[in-house]
Chain A
Amino acid sequence: MKTKIYIIALVSMIIAALNLSAASKNQITCTGSTTVLPIAQAAAESYMDNHPEINISVRGGGSGVGVAALQNGTTDICNSSRPMKSKEISVAKAKGINPVAYAIANDAISIIVHTNNPIKDITIQQIKDIYTGKIKNWKALGGPNLPIVAVSRDVSSGTFEVFNEKVLAGAKVEGSAQLLASNNAVLSAVSNTPGAIGYVGLGYVNETVKLLSVNRVIPAVASVKNNSYPLARKLYMYTNGNAKGEVEKLIGFIQSEKGQKIVEEQGFINIK
């Protein structure tokens, strides 16, 4: 008898929960990639200017953090600087979360060095050799007799994962490399260290560092769009299922002409 009561109680709870209607949301949360962060922040501010009833909260943490938040149902939008992996999609789908990707910008992982460094170009193989510890001095690349300080992103970063795939091909970053948690931290470390080399999203490159061409290709609108720049990539926003309501409007805004202007203002390349 008691068992029957338990079963009836459990079934009732399930039915009650299914009938709970989702409240209309004026709060949107975006979590994830620090590369996408400036785009998301600028777009959110612009969107909120025209929609004062909407409150958009934007947080960083890295693409991995954003993916975890999407899987846990704790964010409306996951910002990611890489495509989600099969494992991540599988875990999400089993939890009833259906990740749908929206490309919002083109980007280039940009190789940067200190402004005093005379090197102008570098090859993918040379970058790999630096980060795996085979090349330790700029002299080996025709530069000054100066030890190389490799600055990398931490491994939960989407930028690191794309860099790992396209440059390192799975090889291990040497133990003495600095692993930093954000694009800004990499930028700051490289601008303050004469022998440093690092990599950041194109939008982060400024006059405090020197941008190198890779395999003699400079990251620019044309070379990124036609994929001739070897470290070109897309930036994404992921939602659970097709975006709806205000989330759909926000992403639509970022993909619109006005939104893509914001993308360009932040130093990234539009998807048009």
Chain B
Amino acid sequence: MTRKKLMLNLICLGLLFVPMAMNGLETKLSGEFWGRWLAEIAKRKNATGNYENKLVNNYLSLERGYLGLETKFTEQVKGRFTVDIYTTDKTYEYQSYSLEDSTLTASTKSGSIDGAGLKIKYAYVDFGGFIPVKDMTLTAGMQKVYFGSIYDWSYTLIGKAPSDEHKVANSADLGLTLNGYLPSGYGEYAVGIYNGEGYKKVGANLKDNTDFAYLGNLRVTPITGLTVGGSYMYNTVGREKDLNGEANNSAYEKQQLMDAYTRLAYGPVDLNCEYIVKNVDFPNITDSNKTKKYTATGISIFPCINLKEYLPYDLQIVGCYDLWDESDRLVSDKARNKLAASTIGVNYNFMPDETDTPSMQLQLNYTDKRYDEDKSHSDYANGKQDSSQINLQLKWKFANTL
């Protein structure tokens, strides 16, 4: 670990104690840890150049370790600080720029991290009562992105929320939001401005995108158990002009992200459905056909059946059908991937706390991914092949008032 990284990690750990030092009304320490075994079989080329199934992944990891402090400064003002500690994750992302033929080109790259990594997931303050609207909160700082189901995704399934999985929206970002609840429990809403960069990117490139991202989200529960809603986000990637001149950046993207969400909870059944649209435009590419402009769509159906009521054990059967269609996106005149992923799994919840909420969860998921991909395309060789995956995960959590 370099000295800079060590310093950053020490600063982050030091920040954990800031809320305590501020003498809050109540400070809660909480943690959540996910230990995972993953085994994956996918198609790879053999010696004769043909594709065959091979074991491509088989490892144990501490996939996530959330450690957080939540403090109430007053009944209306609360702060939250959460770091994400992990032993395997390559999502240290940054953007690299090159200037060729007066065109600034951006590309997203990822770096590997040796040993444990640390990311600040949340660092925000909620100001209740700041605006005289009942149950409205102003939230400032590194916070949830209220898009789709990403902000309240409870990981009942091991996989990520659809908009996270397909990199439509970031799960956390620096921003300012107004969020709250409709009277009498009729739903919730959020509007906000974010950096649009997420919480994973590091370095000077964070400053290169000078546009903000704008978000609106509304969910309505007209009758108990039925929730419908949607969210909209306008975001950009990269900066429009070269910092050192007026040259257009051809990689500058304008994104319109839309999501429709439905949840049906009745008795033991909890069914979530989500439809996502991602419109991407490249305003600095002036070819008449606008070949880089594309629309990606996704649909996800996620049922969960709680069997606690009927069995001596707290068991859940979970499933997911997820379709992500990016075939409208052309790269070198070739259509890119269309992915159908099906997951089935079981959760065993145990070690209940005083509210009978389990402190531990053992999850077993089997996922089958099918890509509709042109085999001659470079993406195919780079991992966009059909695969099957088994995940076994033990999650445990705690929360104590200090």
Contacts of B185 in A (CB 8 A): 86, 88-93, 99
Residues from chain B with a CB closer than 8 A to the CB of A146 are none
Contact across chains for A3 and B74 when beta carbons are under 8 A apart: no
CB distance B266 to A18 under 8 Å?
A: yes
Q: Out of A18, A74, A91, which one reaches B267, CB within 8 Å?
A: A18
Tell me if B356 and A17 are in contact (CB < 8 A).
no
A155-B75 in contact given A14-B305, A90-B188 (Cβ < 8 Å): yes
Q: Which residues of A contact B354 (CB under 8 A)?
A: 59, 61, 65
B368 touches A2 (CB 8 A): yes
How many chain A residues touch B (Cβ–Cβ < 8 Å)?
51
A48 at the interface (CB under 8 A from B): no
B73: which A residues are within 8 A, CB to CB? Answer: 172
What distance in Å separates the Cβ of A131 from its nearest Cβ neighbour in chain B? 11
Q: Is A171 an interface residue (CB 8 A)?
A: yes
Given A3-B342, A170-B129, decide whether A164 and B75 contact each other with a Cβ distance below 8 A: yes
- Confirm or deny: B270 has a beta carbon within 8 angstroms of a beta carbon on chain A: yes
B355 touches A9 (CB 8 A): no
Q: Is A45 an interface residue (CB 8 A)?
A: no
User: Hey, which chain A residues are within 8 Å of B181, CB to CB?
Assistant: 85-87, 90
In the complex, whether B25 has a CB less than 8 A from a CB of chain A is: yes
Interface flag for B303 (CB, 8 Å): yes
In the complex the two chains form, is B401's CB within 8 Å of A96's CB?
Answer: no
A17 touching B357, Cβ below 8 Å: no
Contact call B266/A96, Cβ cutoff below 8 A: yes
Find chain A residues with CB under 8 A from B110 CB.
none
CB of B310 within 8 Å of the partner chain: yes
> CB distance A69 to B310 under 8 Å?
no
Interface hit among B5-13, B57-65, B219-227, B377-385: B219-227
Smallest Cβ-Cβ distance to A97: which chain B residue: B224
What separation, in Å, do the CA atoms of A268 and B356 have in the docked complex?
Answer: 29
Asked if A168 is at the interface (CB within 8 A of a chain B CB), the reply is yes
* Min CB–CB distance B226 → chain A (angstroms): 9
Residues of B219-270 at the interface with A, using a CB-CB cut-off of 8 Å, are 219, 221, 224-225, 227, 263, 265-270
Task: Choose from A10, A17, A61 the contact partner of B344 (Cβ within 8 Å).
Answer: A10
Residues of B within 8 A of A184 (CB): none
B319's partner among A10, A68, A90 (CB-CB below 8 A) is A10
Say yes or no: is B183 at the interface (Cβ < 8 Å to chain A).
yes
A68 to B358, CA, bound (A): 12
A68-B357, A90-B188 given as contacts; is B72 within 8 A of A155 (CB)? yes
Query: Is residue B91 contacting chain A, with contact meaning CB distance below 8 A?
Result: no
CB of B317 within 8 Å of the partner chain:
yes
Residues of B within 8 A of A13 (CB): 303, 305, 317, 319
Question: A213 within 8 Å of B by Cβ?
Answer: no
Contact (Cβ within 8 A) A68 B355: yes
A183 within 8 A of partner (CB)? no
Q: Which residue of A lies closest to B388 (CB)?
A: A2
Q: How far is the CA of A194 from the CA of B354 in the complex (A)?
A: 34
Q: Which 5 A-B pairs have the closest CB atoms?
A: A89-B185, A96-B265, A74-B356, A96-B225, A98-B224
Pairs A–B under 8 Å by Cβ, sample size 23: A3-B340, A6-B319, A17-B269, A17-B307, A31-B355, A61-B354, A73-B306, A74-B352, A75-B355, A85-B181, A86-B135, A86-B184, A89-B184, A90-B181, A93-B185, A93-B225, A93-B227, A94-B227, A155-B72, A155-B75, A168-B75, A172-B74, A179-B26
